[in-house]
Amino acid sequence: MEWPMEHQGLGVVLVAPQIPQNTGNIARICAATFSELHLVKPLGFSLEDAALRRAGLDYWKEVRLFLWEGWDHFTAANPRKRLLFFETGTYPPYFTASFAPGDMLVFGRETKGLSQRILSFSPHFIYSIPILNGKVRSLNLANCVSIVLYEALRQILLGKK
């Protein structure tokens, strides 16, 4: 099967990420899928951080990276984009979402997730990744982005929900 190049215009939005290795890994995922990467300050690291660069390998030149001073700057610059939020908890599972080209997939910081202020921005578009073992409280951010981004691509590229 041939996959369309720069097919869907999806964006991954990380709000106040803290761990450079996660962000570097997510940058590599974005490069591999032609997805934009939006980093919303404050960041818990410098963009020159060696761990960030190492995790992204030499793919940084392939990343369409956007850096925003804060949530309000991001939303003001993207007023027509549909925002889908991913959070821990009892929200509907991510695979019940209907993804479309141009969607922005929004994830919060590793330790605290997204604030109530941000979640209230679009309360009907909040999803979670089910954790079946109740003794596990969270998943790695880069893994979460991978799970959701590839489900979005599956739906968009194959036309399936």
**Cα distances (Å, whole numbers) of residue 124 to 2, 145, 157:** 34, 20, 24
Q: How many CB atoms lie within 10 A of CB 121?
A: 16
Q: Is 122 labelled as part of a ligand binding site?
A: no
Q: Is 138 labelled as part of a ligand binding site?
A: yes
Q: Is 126 labelled as part of a ligand binding site?
A: no
Task: Judge contact between 10 and 33, C-beta under 8 A.
Answer: yes
**φ, ψ of residue 31 in degrees (nearest 5):** -60, -45
Residues annotated within the binding site are 108, 129, 138
- Residues annotated within the binding site for S-adenosyl-L-methionine are 108, 129, 138
